[in-house]
Amino acid sequence: MNRSTRASRAGPAGRPHGRDTAPAGAKGLELAARLLQQSLHFRQPPDALLAQALRGPQRLGVRGRAAVGDALFAALRDLPRWHHLRARVRGDAPTPLDVQRLREDIDACGDIVALAWPDDAVPVWGSDDAPQAQRALALRAAAAALAAAPLPDGVRFGLPDWLYQRLRAVVGEALPALADALRAPAPLDLRVNALRAKREAVLSEWCAAGLPAVATPYAPWGIRLPARTPLQTQPAWVWGHVEVQDEGSQLIAALVGARRGETVVDFCAGAGGKTLALGAEMRNTGRLYAFDTVAARLQRLQERVQRAGLTHVHPMALSDESDPRLQRLAGKIDRVLVDAPCSGLGTLRRHPELKWRHDPSTIAQAAALQQRILQAAARLVRPGGRLVYATCSLLPEENEAVAQAFTESTRGRFEPLDACTLLTQARVTDAHSLTEQGALRLWPHVHGTDGFYAVAWQRR
């Protein structure tokens, strides 16, 4: 999954300028309810579902279309709150949120998106006297009367109970700040392609064009813009001078420390954001392998590679982490990055649906897979080479526990490296503030990035 490129949809919609072709009314409510229901089946990300729906024949108008997207993501971010308020309004005793039951109840989904509908977009309902619109107005009025009532902690923080308990154990009193950060929209982070441009030049160009672009505080190639800033007509975007990539993801690529002429493997390349960053660090020299088990992702990577001007990237679709073709690379690779498949709970600013997709059993399954992938990738590292393990998860089960188990199982063959030292060498600003116990540890409420964890070893 290319998490960063979906950032522009996941944030609250800025109100686009332009004339509405029709008020959203009941049509907008019906569409938002259907999209919420489909999102909770987890077959497609909500941003993809939304894009598909808005390409259809609906006549919602500009404001109505924006409101549908806002309501969908607001519903997903605060699902327990809306579920709780709905029960209170109906006079029912609030019960724990049951996502499976909710996704089968279109009326409940309709009520939830009505409650989540942005206040400043309510006027798009206009004078619609359809039953859905009138029900929504009545529901919101009744919920407003209950707004001051206290909420249970898990409901107040917008988290499933199991995740609330896990995160409270990890961050303690900082949980309210973390929960607020996870519910806030993510900015639009980009990485300047060092093969084609310099950050200062791109910043100057965009500031002259009136874009509120600023340098990211840590990553040396990062630029930050408000969510959903249009880039398609900007020359820097058209000519491949920038790529969408969260600052935290850029810092993981920096931890790898890829150099000119080396042989490097991105073991779980996905759509290739880190692959492109590694290729730029290598200055388009050496050999860069991009592995993934989903061939379609690697096909999309090919387009991005061409746009970035890279010619040394070699995609390879693997059957799994034990694909026999990996044997010929055993002990030959200078640097291996394992950006492991994980829960993605560090990316809730962009993908709020993920907290409803997972439970303790899926986290345990992910951790077992991460162990297998890390062991397989480690076999490729040459003596003296570097191995980096990374996730976009907040949970120790997927992070510290996996790293510790690997260190113990390799019995001294892999020596942990200090992430602060490696990041300082990569010209990362204020590197000491980004690390905990020798590992890169990024928190949305502290660093303004997605939540990431990464640790590095050197093979003896």
Q: Do the two domains 188-244 and 247-459 of this chain adopt the same fold?
A: no
**323 DSSP assignment:** -
Boundaries of every domain in the chain? 4-151, 188-244, 247-459
The CA-based angle 308-312-315, given to 5 degrees, is 90
Q: What is the pLDDT along the chain (460 residues), one digit of tens a residue?
A: 344 333 344 444 433 434 444 445 788 899 999 999 999 999 999 999 999 998 866 667 778 888 899 999 999 999 999 999 999 999 988 888 999 999 999 999 999 999 999 888 787 676 666 788 888 888 999 999 887 888 888 899 999 999 999 999 999 999 999 999 999 999 999 999 999 999 999 999 999 999 999 999 999 999 999 988 988 889 999 999 999 999 999 999 999 999 999 999 999 999 899 999 999 999 999 999 999 999 999 999 999 999 999 999 999 999 999 999 999 999 999 999 999 999 999 999 999 999 999 999 999 999 999 999 999 999 999 999 999 999 999 999 999 999 999 999 998 899 999 999 999 999 999 999 999 999 999 999 999 999 999 999 999 9
Predicted confidence at residue 127, as pLDDT, reads 61
φ, ψ at 413 (rounded to 5°): -75, -25
The alpha helices in 20-160, defined as continuous H runs, are 25-39, 46-54, 61-77, 79-90, 99-102, 106-116, 131-144, 153-156
The angle formed by the CA atoms of residues 376, 378 and 381, to the nearest 5 degrees, is: 130
Which of the residues are catalytic? 392
433-460 exposure pattern, b = at least 16 Cβ within 10 A, e = fewer? ebbeebbbbbbbbbbbbbbbbbbbbebe
Task: Cite the annotated binding site by residue number.
Answer: 292, 320, 339
What distance in Å separates the CA atoms of residue 164 and residue 175, rounded to the nearest whole number?
8
Residue 252's closest CA among 399, 35, 454? Answer: 454
Class of domain 247-459 as given by CATH = alpha beta
DSSP3 helix / strand / coil % (the chain, rounded to 5): 50, 15, 35
Segment holding 315, helix H or strand E: strand 313-317
Contact by Cβ (8 Å): 438, 418: yes
Torsion of CA 101, 103, 105, 108, to 10 degrees: 100
* Residue found by looking up tokens 């607020």 in the block: 180
Handedness of CA 8, 143, 25, 34 (dihedral sign): positive
Q: Which residues does residue 391 pair with via DSSP β-bridges, in sequence order?
A: 453
State the pTM of this model.
0.91
Residue 385 and residue 333 in contact, taking contact as beta carbons nearer than 8 Å: yes
Which two tokens mark 363? Answer: 């986290």
Q: Which fold has domain 188-244?
A: Alpha-Beta Plaits (3.30.70)
How many angstroms separate the CA atoms of 432 and 36, rounded? 41
**SS3 category, 239:** coil
Alpha helices by DSSP H, listed for 209-353, are 235-238, 247-256, 273-281, 295-308
Residue type for position 420: C
Q: Which residues are annotated as a binding site for S-adenosyl-L-methionine?
A: 292, 320, 339
How far apart CA 205 and CA 228 sit, in angstroms, is 19
What integer pLDDT is reported at residue 58 of this predicted model? 66
What is the Cα–Cα distance from 368 to 206, expressed in whole angstroms?
Answer: 45
